[in-house]
Structures are given as C-alpha cells and as structure tokens.
Amino acid sequence: MTAAPTTARYALISVAAALATIALKGGAYLLTGSIGLLSDALESLVNLAAALVALLALWVAARPADAEHTYGHTKAEYFSSGFEGVLIFLAAASIMYTALRRLLHPQAIEAPGIGLAISAAATAINFGTARVLFAAGRRNDSITLEADAQHLMTDVWTSVGVIVGVGAAVLTGWHRLDAIVAIAVALNVLRTGGKLLWRSMLGLLDTALPDDMVGTIRAILDAHSAEGVRYHALRTRQAGARRFIAFHILVPGGWTVQRGHDLLEAIEEQIRAAVPNSTIDTHLEPIEDPVSWEDTRLERPPQGSTEPV
C-alpha cells in the first residue's frame, strides 16, 4: 500500500479530534444531564462519521487516472461532503427530538461547573483542528478538508452557545432554557448541512470555475488578440482539487502547424501558472474557415444543418 496522501493525513487529525471530543462531551453530559451538552456530544458523533468518510474519499481522490476513470478520481470528494451533509441532518433531527422532550419535561442540571469546563476543553480542540484543516484545504484545493473545517467551526460556535445557554439556565434556574439552546443548536446544524449538500450538488453537476478564475483565463487569451488570434467555446469545470479548462483557438490559416502548436503550448503554460491544478484541452482552427465558427456550443450541429449556432 502506498503512503497516505497529505490530505488524507489531515483527515486522520480530524478523526483523532472527533474521538477526543466525543469522550469529553459525552462525559460532560453524563455529569450534568444537560440536554444542551448531549446535543453537542451528538454532533461530535457526526464529526467522527464525517471524518472517517472524508478519509476514505481523500484516499480515493488521490488515486491516479486509469482506464475506467481517465479524468481521475477527484470527484470522490463531493460524495464525502454530501454524505457529511446527510449526517448533519440526521444529527439535527435527533437533537430536535430530544430537546422537545426535555422542553416538555425540564429537569435541573447537575455539576454544571465541571461539565462546562470539560465542554470548553473539547471546544478548544475542535477550534485548533478546524484552523489546521482550513489552512490545509485551501493549500491543497480540497473541498473535503474545507467542508470538514467548516463543520468543526460550526461545532465550535454551537458549543459556545451551549456553554452560554447551560450557564444561563443554571444561574437563572429556568431549566427549559437548556432545551431551547439545544433547539437553536439543531437549527444551526441544519443550516450547515444544507450548505454542504448544496455545494456537493454543484460539484457533481460540473459547475464552472469561479468568475475570477474565468476572468483570469479570458485575460490570458485576450492578450494574444494582437496576433490575429481569437478564441471561443471556453468551458470550465471543477472536480475536487482538479480544474478542467477547454477552449478553441482560431489562428490565421497561413500559419504553420509548428507555430500554432507553439502558441497553444505558451497559452496552456500561462493558464497552468495562473490557475493551479488545471487540465487543459485545446483545439486549433483556421480563423478564415466558416466551419471553425460552427462549434461554439457543447453539441455541434451536423454538416448542412440550418439550426442556429
């Protein structure tokens, strides 16, 4: 077996952090009986499941292209973030159900001081892990690590809210406040899950690169217009950390094949430098040939067709 890819090693950090926080938050709930702390512990179980799926997805995504997957395996990262979104919805439903029961039947919180201290320690672990994953995700263009980091940061703010809510319930003696905080936690968790599912869906639908990246690509292509060069059929998509870019370059028909080839090599090199992790497909056409202008769409109409392009 090959060594773990760098991104997968970061996922191992997330797994370790999830195990530690489950133990801490679960212990805090057992000591206090707080439904707010229980909701926090349940979300940490989601963190563990998500981290394990992320680890598997990153292993798959790091595999090189093969005969059956000629564009690589990078889309596996979207399955990870989508699965995490589903788990978040399940956790939110569980938290909401338990909180509503406690809202109808409130009970006093026991040993709040030590319970909140333990929860605060677990929150600090999540915060540190999230910062590490954010940095690694941006450095490696990994949606899986970024999604995991976003989830952990949501967990951090959730935990802060739980600590404040439980503390307020103890100080005021209004024990239903504990359940109300748990319901607020569930709603926040649902919002995070929805965002992850939406982002994963966009990735699986071959969404184009962000506008700023497309603008950079167009600026590079436009820079060659003084040479009588034009372009069209620019298409982009992203699959995990890998970016795919395709376009047609139209040059004067009197150019030699070598000159056209050299131009494409230069353009591709410029784009790869400006947009890292890019796979670029180009097509060279004579600018004077009317047929060169008939393939601007994804599906080219048949020869002789009167269908507008």
CA dihedral of 185, 188, 193, 195, whole degrees rounded to 10: -170
CATH superfamily of 211-293: Cation efflux protein, cytoplasmic domain (3.30.70.1350)
- Distances, alpha carbon 71 to alpha carbons 61, 114, 126, 240, 260, in Å: 11, 53, 35, 12, 26
Residue 2: per-residue pLDDT: 41
Q: Taking the domains of the chain in order of start, what are their residue ranges?
A: 6-204, 211-293
Same fold, 6-204 and 211-293: no
6-204: CATH class: mainly alpha
Residue 163: per-residue pLDDT: 76
Does the pLDDT of residue 309 top 70, yes or no? no
- pLDDT confidence band for 168 (50 / 70 / 90): confident
The better pLDDT of the pair 12, 200 is held by 12
Among 18-22, 130-134, 204-208, 288-292, the range scoring the smallest mean pLDDT is: 204-208
Q: Which residues pair with 281 in a beta bridge?
A: 246
Q: Starting at the edge strand that comes first in sequence, how are the strands of the sheet with 278-286 ordered?
A: 230-239, 242-251, 278-286
Does the pLDDT of residue 297 top 70, yes or no? no
Does the pLDDT of residue 304 top 50, yes or no? yes
Pairing of strands 242-251, 278-286: parallel
Average pLDDT estimate for 266-275: 94
Does the pLDDT of residue 305 top 60, yes or no? no
Over residues 210-256, the pLDDT tens digits come to 899 999 999 999 999 888 899 998 999 887 667 899 999 999 999 99
Q: Which of 244, 243, 217, 242 is closest to 232 using CA atoms? A: 217
Enter the pTM of the model.
0.57
Question: What DSSP assignment string belongs to 7-31?
Answer: HHHHHHHHHHHHHHHHHHHHHHHHH
As a whole number of angstroms, the distance between CA 89 and CA 45 comes to 13
Over residues 72-87, the pLDDT tens digits come to 777 777 776 777 677 7
Q: What is the mean pLDDT of the chain?
A: 79
CA dihedral of 77, 78, 81, 85, whole degrees rounded to 10: -160
Does the pLDDT of residue 172 top 60, yes or no? yes
∠ Cα 71 74 77 (to 5°):
155
Residue 180: per-residue pLDDT: 79
**Longest CA span, the chain:** 87
Residue 3: per-residue pLDDT: 38
The better pLDDT of the pair 288, 156 is held by 288
- pLDDT confidence band for 299 (50 / 70 / 90): low
